[in-house]
Every structure is written in C-alpha cells, then in structure tokens.
Amino acid sequence: MKVYINGKFFDQADAKISVFDHGFLYGDGIFEGIRLYSGCVFRLEEHLERLEYSAKAILLDLPWTRKQISDATCEACRVNGLKDGYIRLVVSRGVGSLGLSPKSCASPQLIIIADKIQLYPPEFYEQGLKIITVPTRRCNPAALPPTIKSLNYLNNILAKIEAQNLGFHEAVMLNDQGYIAECTGDNIFLVHKGKLFTPPFSAGALSGITRGAVLDIAKKLKMPVEEKNLTRYDAWIADEIFITGTAAEVVSIIEMDGRPIGTGKPGPAAKKITAEFKRLVKKDGTKI
C-alpha cells in the first residue's frame, strides 16, 4: 500500500510523520472518512466541503485548493489499484513545539490513506446488530462542536471500549442532558409509526455524509422525517433502529439495552433505505 503525504507517495512502512506534529501530540487536526464504490468516490465534494468547514472552525488555513485535495484523493485510489475501498484523509496542524500554541506550527500536513475496510461482519448486515448504552457521554457541543470532525476521538474510543468490555460491537452515546447523540462512530435513526427520527446536531450528532444520503433517500421514498431530541425510551419502543456511517453504511439494530427492537429482526424501512443506498452509491460519485 502507498500512502500520500504532502504531495508524495510512500510505502506503508515508510509513511511517517514527526513526533512533534501537533496532530500526534494534541489531536490538533481534522479528517474525513470517504468511500470508493466501483471506481467512484462517493460524495467527494460534500466530504471536502465538510473538511473545509472543520478547518475554518478550528482556525486551520488549508494551503491546498479543493481541486488539489480532490485530485490527490483520486490519485491515492489509482496508485493503490482500488475500485472499492475506504479513504482516510487527514490534515494535521503540522510540526511545532511542545507547547499548545499552534503558532509554532509551520505548515499543515495532508495525509491520504486508501485501503480496504470492513467494519462489521457480513452477518450483522443480514441479521442486525445488538447495541448498548454506555456511561461515557458525548462531548458538550459548547465545548467541541460535533460538526467538527477532529482528530480528538478519545471520547468515542472510551465509549467503544466500554461497549466491547460488555461484549458489544457498538454503543449508544448520550449527551450531558441524557438525550441520544449518536453511536461511537455512526449516526442513529429511529422508525416509529412510519416516521423517521434522528438526533439534531445540537444534541451531539455528527453531520454525517451517509446521514445526509439517508435523509435524501427518505425524501425520495416520501417517508416523513423529524430531527428531535430522543431519549432511550424513544429507542426502546421504536419499531426499527438503524445506524449509518461511511464505513458502516446502513446497519439495522435488533436489540438495545437488552430490549428487542420491533420484531427483533431488520425491519422494512431499513431494508428499503439500504436498497436505495446501494443504488445511490453507484451513481453519486466522482470517478477516479
């Protein structure tokens, strides 16, 4: 595998950054997880727009144009001979001193990793996934807005560890008010009485690209949608739950906190949305 770093490709073993990079020292940077389907990068422009917004929010000036980043992303896929895969695009603040101040960082670094990924075993997509609510809460949006896709993921990692220690692959994270925010790496949707519900960004939900695609699909299917604060009770009595993410795509949840969701099997709404999503990724992309 070849890794892109600041305009050059390196073998995986030689792809290195400085220990003084503020992305490594402090999580000072941003990233995007992007999917490649059949030689097309899914919603690349939306990902790069979100990257630009994240950069602006943390006062990080990007020295590259969107086209330059887009071209580098596509080239990383071509160099690695990929037609289907996962792209991790990282921008760090760059090399600086041991102090917190970013003024010591000379210039940002752009790193692109294009590889294969399979987040969950195939049976979870067919049979559904069991999840649990964990004690670790989502960071308050007033402290770190969830719309910033930053390199600081310790909050999510702690929640993932708690879930795994209890024998689960995924967890629901609540915000400091007790409302559902998201899962450790995915957005969450509830279906109740034919209506689709999902937490708003103000509750701690990431502005997910796949989340947006599902909202577009719901509109196409004429399925009513509401963004609102959701409690665990709302989830427990839901007819269906599913989670969405770039790596995860769409996965049905069949149990939460020991309670079966709906019939305890993937429901019809999730199946329809999954089918439409598979059609969408074949036509809504940038050719590499």
Domain parsing of the chain, residue ranges:
2-115, 122-280
| Domain 122-280 is found in CATH 3.20.10.10 | yes
Please determine, looking at this structure, whether the domain spanning 2-115 carries the CATH number 3.40.50.720.
no
Query: Is pTM beyond 0.85 here?
Result: yes
Q: Which residues are designated catalytic?
A: 149
pLDDT at residue 63 greater than cutoff 90: yes
Separation CA 175–CA 163 (nearest Å): 17
Which positions ≥6 away from 246 have C-beta within 8 Å? 33, 34, 35, 42, 86, 208, 209, 210
Cβ atoms of 86 and 35 within 8 Å: the answer is yes
Rounded to whole angstroms, the Cα distance separating 113 from 88 reads 5
Give percent of the chain above pLDDT 90: 93
Q: Which two tokens stand for residue 98?
A: 């041991």
Whether residue 119 is predicted with pLDDT greater than 90 in this model: the reply is no
* pLDDT band at 241; cut points 50, 70, 90: very high
Task: Give the integer Cα–Cα distance in Å for 243 and 225.
Answer: 15
Structure tokens at 154: 């310790």
200 Cα distance to chain centroid? 15
Instruction: For residue 8, give the DSSP letter.
Output: E
**Is residue 219 within a helix (H) or strand (E), and if so which, with residue range?**
helix 209-220
